[in-house]
């Protein structure tokens, strides 16, 4: 059942926390300490140490808290192998996307243009992946292509007209190749996050805490265990700094609360068709306004940057609003539809369509004997 006030509240919660995520993480990487050497290895070391802070926050908010709540009360839904796999995979790509952002910032990219580019490109990947899972490429509309062009123009414009020195900690020589690869990694991974998390939640009977817990476990492994092992075996010339870790943990807290907001918006009846455009539309605005306010360099904000940002946001919203819909297809018989006649059958929803994709079925095969628990 749709509860619009709650859907809008949780959507706004996600847009806010994801909007400030890059800025807070940038402060964490900047305050992690001065490396004894200046090279790619030291930049990587700084980003990995900040990434550990993000992972620790996710472990607290997305693992310990959900487990405690699940042990105290009965929640809607159940554990299933396929739902767990999908949710863990969603958490993995989410963590890798966060690593991409951390690397882009560590390589001296600035949050004021890194985050708008990520938020502009992620919806395109999200829509293309969803269309592939739903086998609905034939449903692509001209406005969808227009939206992709607007995103491309807007993000290129943001990069070319970015304010100089507008974000905290943006000093230093920018490694544009490394920043570009890191942004591409974040776009690809964060664009994949939503579709797989939605599938995971649907395969757990609409549970809120179970898929969130899986996301936290994946973050802990990728953002804490792996970086700690790497840092112990690498010579990066870096070390942990209290201030850097504090800001990095706060960044992880913002990211985890944003992820929780998405799950809660879906739980109360929100649909990706209007939830995600609001999130990807307002998050970069919050990011830009917050960056300018913190830096107090309002003269650096030029008209072309504002126009480019608006183009990217409009393109992202257009892409999501004109996303190809799942084509009707035959559904496997279920207890609710076994006796239905052709006139009684209903069109398949996007999740059911995605569940028929060979890639998804491969993960679901392991759950053929799943029982609610």
pLDDT at site 305: 78
3-state secondary structure 289-314: HHHHHHHCCHHHCCHHHHHHHHHHHH
Rank 23-32, 304-313, 346-355 by mean pLDDT and report only the highest. Answer: 23-32
Of residues 206 and 87, more confidently modeled: 87
Q: 77-86, 122-131, 199-208: which has the minimum mean pLDDT?
A: 122-131
C-alpha to C-alpha distances, 80 to 76, 194, 221, 343, 372, nearest whole angstrom: 13, 19, 21, 33, 7
pLDDT at site 251: 93
Q: What DSSP assignment string belongs to 2-31?
A: --HHHHHHHHHHHHHHHHHHHHHHHHHHHT
Closest CA to 195 of 122, 91, 90, 101: 90
Q: How does residue 201 score in pLDDT terms, banded at 50, 70 and 90?
A: confident
Q: How does residue 362 score in pLDDT terms, banded at 50, 70 and 90?
A: low
User: Is 52 contained in some domain?
Assistant: yes
User: Is 367 contained in some domain?
Assistant: no
Instruction: Domain count for the chain, please give it.
Output: 1
Distance CA(367)–CA(373), nearest Å, equals 13
pLDDT at site 292: 75
Q: Is the pLDDT of residue 331 over 60?
A: no
Distance CA(1)–CA(15), nearest Å, equals 23
Q: How does residue 20 score in pLDDT terms, banded at 50, 70 and 90?
A: very high
Q: Which domain holds residue 193?
A: 4-328+349-357
Report the pLDDT averaged over residues 124-141: 76
User: Is 194 contained in some domain?
Assistant: yes
Long-range contacts of 286-289 (CB under 8 A, 24+ apart): 286/15, 286/16, 286/19, 286/20, 287/19, 287/20, 287/22, 287/23, 287/111, 287/112, 287/115, 287/116, 287/119, 288/112, 288/116
pLDDT at site 333: 36
Q: To the nearest whole percent, how much of the chain has pLDDT over 70?
A: 77
Compute the mean pLDDT over every residue in the chain, rounded to the nearest whole number. 78
Q: How does residue 202 score in pLDDT terms, banded at 50, 70 and 90?
A: confident
User: Is 365 contained in some domain?
Assistant: no
User: Is 107 contained in some domain?
Assistant: yes
Q: Is the pLDDT of residue 288 over 90?
A: no
Q: What does the longest C-alpha to C-alpha distance in the chain come to? A: 73
Of residues 274 and 206, more confidently modeled: 206
Distance CA(1)–CA(106), nearest Å, equals 44
Tokens of 20: 């400030």
User: Is 229 contained in some domain?
Assistant: yes
User: Is 363 contained in some domain?
Assistant: no
User: Is 49 contained in some domain?
Assistant: yes
Tokens of 372: 């609610």
Report the pLDDT averaged over residues 98-107: 86
Distance CA(261)–CA(182), nearest Å, equals 25
Q: How does residue 334 score in pLDDT terms, banded at 50, 70 and 90?
A: very low
């Amino acid at each position: 059942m749709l509860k619009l006030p709650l859907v809008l509240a949780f959507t706004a919660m996600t847009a806010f926390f994801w909007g400030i995520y890059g800025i807070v993480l940038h402060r964490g990487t900047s305050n992690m300490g001065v490396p004894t050497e200046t090279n790619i290895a030291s930049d990587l070391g700084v980003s990995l140490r900040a990434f550990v802070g993000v992972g620790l926050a996710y472990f607290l908010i997305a693992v310990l808290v959900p487990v405690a709540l699940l042990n105290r009360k009965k929640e809607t839904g159940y554990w299933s192998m396929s739902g767990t796999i999908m949710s863990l995979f969603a958490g993995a790509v989410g963590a890798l996307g966060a690593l991409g952002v951390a690397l882009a910032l560590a390589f001296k990219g600035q949050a004021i243009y890194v985050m708008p580019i990520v938020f502009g490109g992620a919806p395109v990947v999200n829509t293309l992946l969803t269309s592939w899972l739903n086998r609905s490429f034939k449903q692509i509309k001209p406005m969808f292509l227009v939206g992709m062009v607007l995103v491309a123009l807007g993000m290129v414009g943001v990069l070319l007209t970015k304010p100089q020195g507008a974000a905290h900690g943006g000093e230093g020589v920018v490694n544009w190749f490394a920043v570009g690869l890191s942004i591409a990694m974040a776009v690809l991974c964060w664009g994949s996050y939503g579709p797989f998390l939605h599938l995971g939640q649907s395969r757990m009977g609409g549970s809120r805490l179970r898929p969130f817990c899986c996301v936290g476990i994946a973050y802990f492994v990728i953002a804490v265990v792996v970086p700690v092992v790497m840092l112990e075996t690498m010579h990066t010339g870096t070390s942990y700094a209290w201030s850097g870790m504090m800001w990095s943990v706060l960044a992880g807290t913002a990211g985890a609360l944003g992820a929780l907001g998405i799950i809660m918006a879906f739980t109360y009846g929100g649909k990706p068709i209007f939830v995600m455009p609001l999130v990807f539309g307002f998050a970069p605005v919050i990011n830009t306004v917050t960056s300018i306010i913190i830096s107090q360099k309002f003269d650096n904000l030029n008209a072309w940057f504002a126009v480019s940002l608006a183009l990217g946001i409009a393109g992202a919203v257009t892409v999501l609003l004109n996303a190809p819909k799942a084509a009707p297809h035959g559904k496997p018989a279920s207890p609710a539809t076994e006796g239905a006649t052709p006139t009684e059958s209903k069109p398949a929803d996007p999740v059911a369509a995605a569940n028929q994709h060979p890639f998804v079925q491969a993960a679901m095969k392991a759950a053929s004997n799943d029982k609610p628990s």
